[in-house]
Amino acid sequence: MLKRYSILAFIVISVEIMLLYLFQTPMKDVVRIPKTFEQMMYGEKIFSASVFPTLFSSAKPEVSVPKPKAEDRHTFLEQQFITFGLVNIKQIDTSIVVNLKYATEDNFLHKNLYGEIKNCYLQKDIAEKLSKAQYLLKKKFPFYSLIIYDGVRPLSIQQTMWDELQVPEKLKNKYVSDPQVGSLHNYGCAVDVSIVNENGWEMDMGTPYDYFGELGHPIAEKRMINDGKLSWRQFENRKLLREIMTDAGFTSITTEWWHFNGNSLKQAEEKYYLIK
């Protein structure tokens, strides 16, 4: 009986020794076995436990497959802008806030004129000027940022604005450029902007954007202050906006505190395409 157990113990020990030998033998020594998945993944330094796939489970690592990069999808209007050489301001300066009023119903016509477009497009040199204005603003007040209400505006949309603006005909060109003449917006050379704080609150400029009345006219500010219609704080906010924009190379106009031109209409006509 003792002899029988001794033989059994000998067999068990012999099997254990063989297994230990196999576990310590590199796969390169088992040349008769074709390369396995593990060997191809980790090279020749795996052990021959994979020789016994039915006896030993080999944990396979998770292989991360890179996801294809999502392509930017552009609306028909954006494709038109890109074709004519305009750039998305976010490609120049990601810190500038964009809120296109004419892509919402929050405008004087109370309807969306731009469809699904959410990005502001400008001529590249105008976008770079705007980025400079943002730099100058943040140099003075790091917690402030420019916010864009409008950039390039196709002439067809300009015509819609002109036709539907509810003011006397002789006053229309104070608020919307005559489509027969054209606007720097139609070339991507003008911007409508204001300033927001770090929480996204717009600075008090005395009127909202696209306000049709003298209170929105920079030329009338002194009189509005004297009449008590414009506060000194509101005036200083407008003054800050004008200073950083003009220092960056823009010019202001007399009837809209929010509107700034990047060059003259003549220069735009000579350099750029009219966006229709």
Per DSSP, what are the bridge partners of residue 195? 146
132-173 pLDDT, tens digit each: 999 999 999 999 999 999 999 999 999 999 999 888 888 888
pLDDT score at 169: 83
Annotate 236-266 with b (16+ C-beta within 10 A) or e (fewer).
ebbebbbebbeebbbebbebbbbbbbbbebe
Give domain limits for the chain.
Answer: 2-51, 76-271
pLDDT score at 51: 40
| Domain range 76-271, CATH architecture | 2-Layer Sandwich (3.30)
Judge if pTM exceeds 0.85. no
192-201 pLDDT, tens digit each: 999 999 999 9
Contact 58, 41 (CB under 8 A): no
Could you tell me how many helices (H) and strands (E) the chain has, helices first? Answer: 9, 7
pLDDT score at 204: 97
Per DSSP, what are the bridge partners of residue 122? 87
pLDDT score at 17: 65
Annotate 86-107 with b (16+ C-beta within 10 A) or e (fewer).
bbbbeebbeebbbbbbbbeeeb
Low-confidence ranges of the chain (pLDDT < 50): 2, 25-60, 68-71
